[in-house]
Structure 1
């Protein structure tokens, strides 16, 4: 039985790993996840949507450490373009939000881009670019079809149908499916300190796994693991404000607190302590160590 859009939808909450720094803002953005139809789950990780209305002249500089994934979005209001492709970013990236707007987005799994598009991960790496017919006719036509619906649930159902058709025409490659499994495993083991290696887990050579990740996401598994762990660091800093950094570092498998600080500062441009102070300003009811 296929679930309706309403049954598949849930809000994005501040206590989960969304990639949004300053997650308390999510209550202002009216943000939600929608699960894809299982028939397209090899291509789509999640649909998500967000809408906002800010006061005149107000702007929010929103930094994001997102999951390593290519995202395609339909955007309305005060936005960069009607259709947008966001590639995998090496560091936290920023979006300035102002006025009013709304976004419906398709977060692809590693196998997804080559099914729906002629683009490569390298073509959109570290970039957010308008999706035009000139950039990619195949993906542009698919997204226009979805954009003809107006509400998130309708767009999710339209996306399911359009992507099912795309999969029938060009199914996921074996390389893409392996990359799907690797990324899912890295997400699941972020709090695990011991276990089998990826080569043992998937009975594939290190070179094969490395190539699958590079071909679909533009980065190898070690980089992907660090990125996922940084999402957890940001979430821990924002939602566990009284916990010592050393404890968070140990929980997430860093060798020490300085290693965590270095990785976080490299990705975001600020130290964990500075981020905590800024997060406190977003959530005055929270408390941090003195």
Structure 2
């Protein structure tokens, strides 16, 4: 690339991608693609995956999302060609089989309100096929992106369409606050929701609560916990659960038991069981 268009790079297993079996990131040729700066208040990242599994093989890929809504163009053995995936309260599973590809647009908190008439409650805990009856604006956006084949070209087309939708106008203050709060929580994993978080932005706790509820359907305490648990899942992919006490301290938990409780509530697994499942997946691939 010459620096004028979107840039792409592999999604590494050590990143906080939300994929609970990160070895699959390599297997599925997962990539990030940077959005244009003109879309910086709308798009957090573009990503793409493609797969070609053996006959009769399937993979149940479990995911703990970053709190974000994703729009996707999907091809091959997929549930629908155009999809919107909302914020999920717990880990969820996508079954992958056959061959196919997905190009995803992970929106920033402000993004859904800027490109759609849907609200977070309309898509919460689900992935919905997109047609014009669901949301004409999102349908047109994804249909235009789907005219391209290469992920880089799809990203460039998404940049152009989203840029036209936003039209150079700045989002309102509540949307910008939601973006800023999530950015802060992603960079400061030990921070907690509450008066200190609100004071960082010069607003009340209620203002932060309203901004995140409006954009993500959840308040700051929930959002902070989900971001931390993504980090826990990533850490357990590289170290076993014997380092959990130190991890709990680093993330500001009272103790290891509280971290383990939160992790199990979202994933359905204890940290130890999750770490063992990762080792089993590696053994299966090696075998």
Task: Please state how far the C-alpha of 1:142 moved relative to its aligned partner.
Answer: 1.1
1:248-278 Cα distance to aligned partner (Å, 9 max, x none): 2222221111111111111011111111110
Matches within 5 A, 1:31-180: 31-168=30-167, 171-180=170-179
The whole-number CA distance in structure 1 between the counterparts of 2:180 and 2:201 is: 8
Structure 2 alignment gaps of length 5 or more: none
CA contact (8 A) 1:43 1:172 kept: no
Q: Does the 8 A contact of 1:116 with 1:138 survive in 2?
A: yes
TM-score under structure 1 normalisation?
0.93
Alignment correspondent of 1:261: 260
Whether the 8 Å contact between 1:111 and 1:172 is mirrored in structure 2 is yes
How far is 1:25 from its partner? 1.3
Structure 1, unaligned runs of 5 or more: 286-290
User: Could you tell me how far apart the structure 2 residues matched to 1:119 and 1:238 are?
Assistant: 35
3-state SS of 1:89 partner: coil
Which whole-Å deviations, capped at 9, do the CAs of 1:230-257 have from their partners, x for residues lacking one?
A: 0011011111127432122222221111
User: What secondary structure is seen at the aligned counterpart in 2 of 1:197?
Assistant: helix
Contact 1:79 1:101 in 2 (8 A): yes
Partners in 1 of 2:279 and 2:16 — Cα distance?
18
Q: Specify whether residues 42 and 274 from structure 1 end up closer, same or farther in structure 2 by C-alpha distance, changes over 3 A only.
A: same
- In the TM superposition, what is the alpha-carbon distance from 1:195 to its structure 2 partner? 12
1:115·1:171 contact (CA, 8 Å) conserved in 2? no
Answer yes or no: is the 8 Å Cα contact 1:20–1:63 preserved in 2: yes
User: TM-score of the superposition, structure 2-length normalised?
Assistant: 0.94
Report the Cα offset of residue 173 of structure 1.
2.3
Q: Could you tell me whether the CA contact under 8 Å between 1:29 and 1:50 is conserved in 2? A: yes
User: Does the 8 A contact of 1:47 with 1:106 survive in 2?
Assistant: yes
Tell me the distance in 2 between the aligned counterparts of 1:181 and 1:240: 31
1:70-129 alpha-carbon deviations (Å, 9 max, x no partner): 000000000010000000000011100111110000000011111110100000000111
CA distance in 2, matches of 1:112, 1:72: 10
Tell me how many residue pairs correspond in the alignment.
Answer: 283
Aligned equivalent of 1:182: 181
The answer on whether the counterparts of 2:76 and 2:99 sit within 8 Å (CA) in structure 1 is yes
**Partner of residue 224, structure 1:** 223
Contact (CA 8 Å) 1:114, 1:172: kept in 2 or not? no
